[in-house]
């Protein structure tokens, strides 16, 4: 839960540090580091309280004591060797303990870089309320990007070390666990017990179902978003196995394919059926060009006159989600609407859809001045 409250940049610093101290051998290194810090602090305190310069008879202030200890770390001292046995001991212990900590730290860092798989697992253990995506392919890489866009975090399980999307995933700073997502130990490596949801997204329906059921066995009540190609199987899984969500790829894609096969200016479509009635929810983005009669309309006027829903608006670098009715439509802005196919065709005669904007620039997309 803490990771949601922290800024993303702070988590990017916090996680590697936390993971570093979760690597094997961390207990011994932690004790060594603690010992060094005690010696360092004790030496600063001892120098401040007891050190007397043998020639001048003067003591040290806090800054002088701190500077002296720092110099001892590089086996140098700006002061003569003291007479006090305890302070003399500090002159030897500080550089030795510092050298041991530095050596152990460099060794552990190199060991961490060589054992990338182990590092990814340890990094995954620092995540909470994240989404686990199983299988890395054309669909899942888009799913991952969209989850990240929503400012949620992702851990991926993949069994192919030569997967073409791995480099892209690492640029996104997403941990990858290599292994079989059916196996409990692999799911444990992805920190499933702290996860918010799991998305089995391989190309095989039965593999996805098997992963989902194993995840549910380990964490009852976990949210599952299941990719399936078989529409009937997806519905049976949704009702029979109490899977929160089962998405059938053909079911999702069919409306968009059907609409795209027409001449309608349509970017996306979602089926919204009620009984025997089949309905489509459409989404299309338009570019508002200077000669369009829609320039100067308000969002409310556009919605009322054309019976559309304006979902979003981009204007002068400002992005507005569900803009207010009084927001003006200016030349050069882009807006996203949901409307009937007939209305989309009507709007397309008045200003070009974003996907046809290149045709407009070439002069092959004509703009009408009549509604």
What does the pLDDT look like over 325-368, one tens digit per residue? 999 999 999 999 999 888 999 999 999 999 889 999 999 999 99
**Domain span including residue 16:** 2-114
Top mean pLDDT of 80-94, 127-141, 226-240 is at 127-141
Pairing assessment for the beta strands 197-200 and 223-228 based on DSSP bridges? parallel
pLDDT at 250 (0 to 100): 67
Do 125 and 249 lie in one domain? The reply is: yes
Last residue of a domain, one of 81, 99, 114: 114
Q: What mean pLDDT do residues 269-286 have? A: 79
> Is residue 191 assigned to a domain?
yes
Q: How far apart are CA 100 and CA 29, in angstroms?
A: 10
Give the CATH number of the domain where residue 308 resides: 3.30.70.1450
Q: What's the mean pLDDT in 129-134?
A: 92
pLDDT attached to residue 205: 86
Mean pLDDT, residues 212-231: 85
**Does the structure show a pLDDT above 90 at 298?**
yes
Question: What is the model's pLDDT at position 210?
Answer: 92
6 Cβ neighbours under 8 A, 6+ residues apart: 14
The answer on 176 and 153 residing in a single domain is yes
Quickly state the pLDDT bin for 260 (edges 50, 70, 90).
Answer: low
128 and 232 co-located in one domain = yes
Mean pLDDT across 115-119: 75
Q: Are residues 33 and 71 in the same domain?
A: yes
pLDDT in tens, 100-112: 877 776 666 666 5
Which of residues 253, 277, 304 is at a domain's end?
Answer: 253
In a domain, 369, yes or no: no
Q: What is the pLDDT of residue 27?
A: 65
Alpha carbon distance 131, 8 (integer Å): 16
Contact 46, 68 (CB under 8 A): no
Q: Which neighbouring-strand residues pair with 314?
A: 319, 334
Same domain, 125 and 99: no
Which of residues 81 and 112 earns the better pLDDT score? 81
| CATH, residue 206 | 3.40.50.720
Span 225-241, mean pLDDT? 75
Average pLDDT over every residue of 36-59: 84
Q: Where does a domain end: 114, 146, 174?
A: 114
Tens digits of residue pLDDT in 192-203: 999 988 989 888
Question: What is each CA distance from 55 to 52, 59, 80, 81, 87, in whole angstroms?
Answer: 9, 11, 9, 11, 17
Any domain includes 368: no
**Residue at 366 is within a domain:** no
30 in any annotated domain: yes
149 and 200 within one domain: yes
- Do 110 and 127 fall within a single domain? no
Counted domains in the chain: 3
Comparison of pLDDT for 246 and 290, the residue scoring more: 290
H helices then E strands: how many in the chain? 15, 11
How does pLDDT run across 24-38, given as a tens digit for each residue?
666 666 777 788 888
CATH number reported for the structural domain that contains residue 32 in this entry:
1.10.287
The answer to whether residue 152 is domain-embedded is yes
% pLDDT > 90, the chain = 35
Check whether residue 249 and residue 131 sit in a common domain.
yes
Same domain, 154 and 104: no
- In order of 285, 333, 348, 366, the CA distances from 355 in angstroms are 8, 14, 11, 14
Give the Cα separation of 328 and 176 in Å (integer).
46
Q: Quick check: 117 pLDDT over 70?
A: yes
Per-residue pLDDT at 2: 44
pLDDT for the residue 341: 83
Residues 272 and 223 occupy one common structural domain: no
Determine which of 16-20, 282-286, 327-331 has the lowest per-residue pLDDT on average.
16-20
E strands of 33-136, at which residues?
Answer: 131-134
Q: For residue 163, is pLDDT > 90?
A: yes
Helical H segments across the chain, by residue range = 2-5, 8-20, 26-50, 62-73, 85-114, 116-124, 138-149, 166-171, 184-189, 205-218, 231-240, 249-260, 299-306, 341-350, 357-361
Q: In what order do the strands lie in the sheet with 268-271?
A: 268-271, 280-287, 334-338, 309-315, 318-321
d(CA 51, CA 324): 72
- Other beta carbons less than 10 A from residue 256's beta carbon: 18
Confidence bin at 132 (pLDDT 50/70/90): very high
- What percent of the chain stands above pLDDT 70? 84
Give CA–CA dist 174/153, Å, rounded: 8
Residue 258 maps to a domain: no
Q: Among candidates 323, 334, 321, which has minimal Cα distance to 300?
A: 323
């Amino acid at each position: 839960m803490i990771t949601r409250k922290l800024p993303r940049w702070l988590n990017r610093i916090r996680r590697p540090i936390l993971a570093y101290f979760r690597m094997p051998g961390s207990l011994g290194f932690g004790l060594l580091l603690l010992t060094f810090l005690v010696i360092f602090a004790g030496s600063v305190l001892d120098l401040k309280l007891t050190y007397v310069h043998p020639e001048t008879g003067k003591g040290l202030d806090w800054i002088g004591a701190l500077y002296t200890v720092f110099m001892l770390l590089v086996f140098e001292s700006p002061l003569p060797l003291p007479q006090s046995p305890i302070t003399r001991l500090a002159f030897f212990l500080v550089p030795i303990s510092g050298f041991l900590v530095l050596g152990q730290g460099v060794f552990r860092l190199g060991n961490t870089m060589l054992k990338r798989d182990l590092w990814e697992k340890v990094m995954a253990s620092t995540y909470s309320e994240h989404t686990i995506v199983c299988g890395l392919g054309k669909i899942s890489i888009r799913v991952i990007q969209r989850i990240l866009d929503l400012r949620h975090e992702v851990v991926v399980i993949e069994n192919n070390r030569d997967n073409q999307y791995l480099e892209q995933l690492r640029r996104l700073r997403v941990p990858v666990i290599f292994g079989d997502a059916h196996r409990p130990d692999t799911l444990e490596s992805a920190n499933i017990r702290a996860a918010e949801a799991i998305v089995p997204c391989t190309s095989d329906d039965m593999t996805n179902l098997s992963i989902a059921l194993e995840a549910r066995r380990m964490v009852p009540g976990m949210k599952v978003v299941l990719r399936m190609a078989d529409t009937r199987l997806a519905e049976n899984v949704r009702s029979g196995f109490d899977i929160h969500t089962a998405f059938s790829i053909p079911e999702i894609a069919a409306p968009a394919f059907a609409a795209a096969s027409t001449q309608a200016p349509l970017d996306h479509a979602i089926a919204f059926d009620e009984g025997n009635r089949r309905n489509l929810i459409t989404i299309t983005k338009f570019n508002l060009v200077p000669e369009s009669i829609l320039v100067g309309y308000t969002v409310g006027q556009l919605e009322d006159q054309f019976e559309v829903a304006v979902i979003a608006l981009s204007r002068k670098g400002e992005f507005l989600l569900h803009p207010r009715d009084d927001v003006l439509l200016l030349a050069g802005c882009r807006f996203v609407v949901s409307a009937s196919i007939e209305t989309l065709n009507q709007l397309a005669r008045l200003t070009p859809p974003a996907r046809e904007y290149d045709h407009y620039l070439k002069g092959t997309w004509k703009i009408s001045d009549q509604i």
